[in-house]
């Protein structure tokens, strides 16, 4: 019986074939720490009387509350900078961007790597064929101190995307449809292995990051996109980094991209996914475009295409937070930034922005937000009764102009 992609990566790490259910200790290629958990990470290392075994394999990213929103956060970030300098650890400071986007841009994540991060959306690294997974402060500290981590080899769910996306439909719509079909608990502690076939291979690295990012919303331990298309051009992909044809899967799901329509995740669960047409007309107070899910240059360009020559509705706050400084620079160079500003957008410091409700756009009681992020639980962005609708940058931009939840196509019909 063959091996899944997750089994292949972990087998390569330990030097022998491994199967789902086995407990392993594996070498870690990169340990990622975010600002919001860095203090706990330092305390765990201090308790262990240890320092990172391989400093070059550890990265700290100041992104969750960047720049600092209050005195306590400022003190914590100062400690990060001083600790990083003292121990020779790279620190990506305020403005560099969201951890997952930054590590990919910096080449710190490569096909076949095992990457552990102190952020649940570390599954994003699977876009390039790396086994990326989120862990808490204690496990992250132990991984940094020893250069290794332990884990149970996960079972795998096979998700096959076929065909090409229709005009106006995006990878975010595909990802939401995947979560709807798997459900919030449908892949708990499993690897979601994504196959792109019959034209779907054309999805870019950024689009693959969106798919891998949202696998954790189905409970996944890892989200792995089988290397193809652009990934083969951008990376040196090992010959062994492919699942066997006779690999065993817990379940298999197939999605026809050509039949997809714009999707939206309705409060208060990510897997509560509907066609936008089913819930259109909901008045919105805030629109947020950004995050590790949809803050890349192609996302900003998609929003700008919808916003060009239009203005945001008077009662709507449109917040755009690029996923990284590179994205911001590119948007400034090609005119995307100017289009967003002319439409009435407010541009934020590259980073997580208001995604987790700590600053830069916290929602008041009763407010409604259309967001390109990845979670819409109660209280995620502020008040417990505030509502978050998860959608693509195109739908978000159209909703900002209309002042209610809609698609660009319907916006064109009504407003021209």
Arithmetic mean of pLDDT, 58-65: 95
Q: Where are the domains of the chain?
A: 5-258, 263-415
**Mean pLDDT, rounded, of the chain:** 95
pLDDT digits (tens, 9 = 90+) for 13-49: 999 999 999 999 999 999 999 999 999 999 999 999 9
Residue 414: what pLDDT? 72
pLDDT digits (tens, 9 = 90+) for 359-379: 888 999 999 999 999 888 887
Residue 360: what pLDDT? 84
pLDDT digits (tens, 9 = 90+) for 318-350: 999 999 999 999 999 999 999 999 999 999 999
Does residue 369 have a known ligand-binding role? no
Q: Is residue 159 predicted with pLDDT exceeding 80?
A: yes
Q: Cα–Cα distance between 56 and 30 in angstroms, integer?
A: 8
Strands 263-265 and 273-275: antiparallel
Does residue 99 have a known ligand-binding role? no
Q: Cα–Cα distance between 92 and 105 in angstroms, integer?
A: 12
The domain 5-258 having CATH identifier 3.40.50.1820: the answer here is: no
Q: Is residue 114 predicted with pLDDT exceeding 90?
A: yes
Residue 410: what pLDDT? 83
Fold identical between 5-258 and 263-415?
yes
Q: Is residue 415 predicted with pLDDT exceeding 90?
A: no
Give me the architecture of the 263-415 domain, per CATH.
2-Layer Sandwich (3.30)
Residue 354: what pLDDT? 85
């Amino acid at each position: 019986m063959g091996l899944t992609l997750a089994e292949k990566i972990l087998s390569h790490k330990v030097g022998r074939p491994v199967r789902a259910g086995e407990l392993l200790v594996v070498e870690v290629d990169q340990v990622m720490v975010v600002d919001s958990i860095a203090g706990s990470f330092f305390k765990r290392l201090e308790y262990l009387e240890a320092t990172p075994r391989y400093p070059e394999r550890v990265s700290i990213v100041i992104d969750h509350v960047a720049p600092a929103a209050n005195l306590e956060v400022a003190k914590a970030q100062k400690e990060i900078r001083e600790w990083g300098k003292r121990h020779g650890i790279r620190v990506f400071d305020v403005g560099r961007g969201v951890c997952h986007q930054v590590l990919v841009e910096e080449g710190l994540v490569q096909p076949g790597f095992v990457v552990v991060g102190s952020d649940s959306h570390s599954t994003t690294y699977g876009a390039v064929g790396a086994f990326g997974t989120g862990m808490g402060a204690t496990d992250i500290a132990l991984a940094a101190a020893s250069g290794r981590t332990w884990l149970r080899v996960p079972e795998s769910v096979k998700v096959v995307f076929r065909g090409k996306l229709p005009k106006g439909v995006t990878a975010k719509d595909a990802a939401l449809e995947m979560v709807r079909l798997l459900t919030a608990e449908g892949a708990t502690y499993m690897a979601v292995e994504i196959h792109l076939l019959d034209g779907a291979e054309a999805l870019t690295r950024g689009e693959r990051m969106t798919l891998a990012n949202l696998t954790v919303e189905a409970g996944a331990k890892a989200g792995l996109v089988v290397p193809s298309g652009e990934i083969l051009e951008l990376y040196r992909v090992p010959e062994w980094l492919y699942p066997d044809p006779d690999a065993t899967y817990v379940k298999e799901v197939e999605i026809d991209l050509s039949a997809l329509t714009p999707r939206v995740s309705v409060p208060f669960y990510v897997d509560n996914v509907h066609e936008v047409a089913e819930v259109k007309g909901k008045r919105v107070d805030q629109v947020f475009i950004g995050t590790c899910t949809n803050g890349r240059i192609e996302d900003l360009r998609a929003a700008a295409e919808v916003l060009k020559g239009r203005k945001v509705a008077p009662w709507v706050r449109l917040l755009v937070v690029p996923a990284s400084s590179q994205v911001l620079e590119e948007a400034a160079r090609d005119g995307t930034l100017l289009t967003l500003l002319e439409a009435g957008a407010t541009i934020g410091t590259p980073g997580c922005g208001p995604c987790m409700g700590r600053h830069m756009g916290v929602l008041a009681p009763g407010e409604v937000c259309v967001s390109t992020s990845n979670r819409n639980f109660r209280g995620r962005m502020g008040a417990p009764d505030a509502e978050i609708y998860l959608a693509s940058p195109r739908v978000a931009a159209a909703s900002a102009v209309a002042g209610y939840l809609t698609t660009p196509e319907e916006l064109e019909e009504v407003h021209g």
